[in-house]
Structure 1
Amino acid sequence: MENKTICRICGYGEEVLWKGGRPTAAICPGCGHEPDVGDSSLMSPRNCRGYRVGHGAQRHSPLEERKHLLRGWDLLRQMATSRPEWR
């Protein structure tokens, strides 16, 4: 099984969040979500994503916020990096 680096909630892709089909202990720096077995279904990530977007989709880390603003961060473009079946 492959390692997955794309967060199922926000699409952030610079951290190993799933390894060998199991969630790691990593917390997504983009949204603060900690992957768990509940993310294996489609509804949990969709509900978390909807809640996050509905509350302004703030970055979890202020440092990440600054880095992404400098790069011209775009929420919709980042979320589009997640696999189609997770959207």
Structure 2
Amino acid sequence: MTTQPNNPLHGVKLADIVTQLEAHYGWDGLAEQIDINCFKNDPSIKSTLKFLRKTPWARDKVEQLFLYTFSNQNPWNTKP
């Protein structure tokens, strides 16, 4: 297995990203942050993962929100 020192998402599963974001923002909050229907119309982890795996631009937005929300460099991050 090769290491990817410049990839902050290396080893993080998409399911974990979506689960943590949903726990932090809720579905309504995610829909406000990223305007995609999988967060608005009958959202679930399973349907969201299916959509994100088929839609690279949406996955990029979700990954960027995850990095922004849970990054140590974010001044609004309250995690120690």
TM-score exceeds 0.5:
no
Give me the TM-score of the superposition, normalised by structure 2. Answer: 0.30
Higher normalized strand content (fraction of residues): 1
Question: Which one has more relative contact order, counting CA pairs under 8 Å at least 6 apart?
Answer: 1
Would you tell me which structure has more helix in proportion to its own residues? 2
Give the TM-score normalised by the residue count of structure 1. Answer: 0.29
Q: Which has the larger Rg? A: 2
